[in-house]
């Protein structure tokens, strides 16, 4: 009696199981919250041949930073309900779109609300803004306010990346930061559009990753480093108020590749085949 032929199964794709069968959906073999979050950031916030870096200054000693703090689970559910993130988003402690990689100094500055990030639709870039330091003369006769060296710097983050930070989450962090600095309402209006670019540390790291280390490397990267799409717009960057910017940024977030990908990852395929097909078509915006 001959044995029945074995069924030939197609191998999994290199990226692993398709998203309906991801570990966080099935509950089996799920990564820990910290591992899933850290792995996502280390994969996204890296420079080729260099590795993970602070997306602001390029420092290789890094910390993983949550935009919405891990301690604020209730806020995350409210953001889902209000359209700041897809309503079926996975737990925010694991979600790399709720984070960015910073060096210890900038991590501390961000968490202490001494700085915030704003996604600028007109430039298609994430920009770092710092609240000014107040310097008082020894005789207390005068005060001077100055911002740090990274005020108005573009972050090394691609807004079109499938796991880019969700733009609207930075609005919530900015609101908290402004609440800590109630008298600094004009922050950001001193930033010249022509000066908005990556920091020298990021440019140097990009240079090291793409060309031999020669005496001409520094000058080459300064002229060829990527610039934000809005860098050619003349004039001074006017950072609009949160209320004026909110709707535009929310609309951009909901139409971003990161949002669409997160929506697809969050789908549950528990219905009939026809229902699942229709659910998927709606999630990717497919129309007849």
Residue 203: the pLDDT is 94
Residue 39: the pLDDT is 92
pTM for this entry = 0.73
Residue 276: the pLDDT is 56
Structure tokens at 237: 């960057």
Residue 221: the pLDDT is 40
> Which stretches of the chain are assigned E, i.e. beta strand?
46-47, 51-52, 63-66, 99-102, 115-120, 125-130, 133-136, 143-146, 153-154, 191-192, 236-237
Q: How far apart are CA 253 and CA 165, in angstroms?
A: 9
Q: What is the mean pLDDT of each run of 10 residues along the chain (288 residues)?
A: 47 45 41 76 95 96 94 89 86 90 96 95 93 61 64 95 96 95 75 80 91 46 39 58 91 96 75 57 51
Residue 17: the pLDDT is 44
User: Could you tell me which residues are beta bridge partners of residue 143?
Assistant: 136
Residue 184: the pLDDT is 79
* Domain spans of the chain, in order of start: 33-209+221-268
- β-pairing, 133-136 vs 143-146, is antiparallel
Q: Is residue 177 within a helix (H) or strand (E), and if so which, with residue range?
A: helix 169-180
């Amino acid at each position: 009696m001959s044995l029945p032929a074995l069924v030939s199964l197609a191998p999994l794709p290199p990226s692993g199981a398709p998203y309906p069968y991801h570990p966080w959906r099935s509950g089996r073999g799920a990564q820990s919250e910290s591992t899933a979050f850290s792995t996502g950031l280390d994969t996204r916030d890296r420079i080729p041949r260099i590795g993970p870096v602070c997306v602001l200054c390029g420092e290789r000693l890094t910390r993983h930073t949550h935009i919405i703090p891990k301690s604020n689970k209730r806020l995350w559910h409210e953001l889902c309900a209000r359209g700041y993130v897809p309503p079926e988003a996975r737990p925010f402690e694991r979600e790399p779109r709720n984070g960015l990689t910073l060096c210890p100094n900038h991590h501390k500055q961000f968490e202490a609300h001494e700085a915030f990030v704003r996604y600028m639709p007109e430039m298609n870039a994430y920009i770092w803004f710092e609240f000014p330091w107040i310097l008082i003369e020894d005789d207390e006769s005068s005060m001077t306010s100055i911002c740090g060296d990274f005020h108005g710097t573009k972050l090394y983050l691609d807004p079109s990346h499938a796991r880019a930070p969700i733009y609207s989450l930075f609005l919530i962090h900015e609101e908290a930061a402004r609440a800590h600095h109630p008298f600094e309402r004009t922050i950001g209006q001193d930033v010249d559009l022509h000066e908005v670019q990556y920091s020298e540390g990021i440019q140097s790291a990009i240079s090291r990753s793409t060309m031999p280390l020669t005496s001409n490397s520094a000058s080459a990267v300064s002229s060829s480093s990527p610039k934000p799409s809005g860098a050619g717009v003349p004039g001074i960057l006017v950072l609009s108020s949160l209320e004026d910017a909110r709707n535009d940024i929310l609309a951009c977030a909901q139409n971003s590749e990161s949002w669409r990908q997160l929506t697809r990852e969050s789908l549950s395929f528990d219905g009939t085949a026809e229902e699942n097909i229709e659910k998927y078509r709606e999630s990717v915006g497919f129309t007849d």
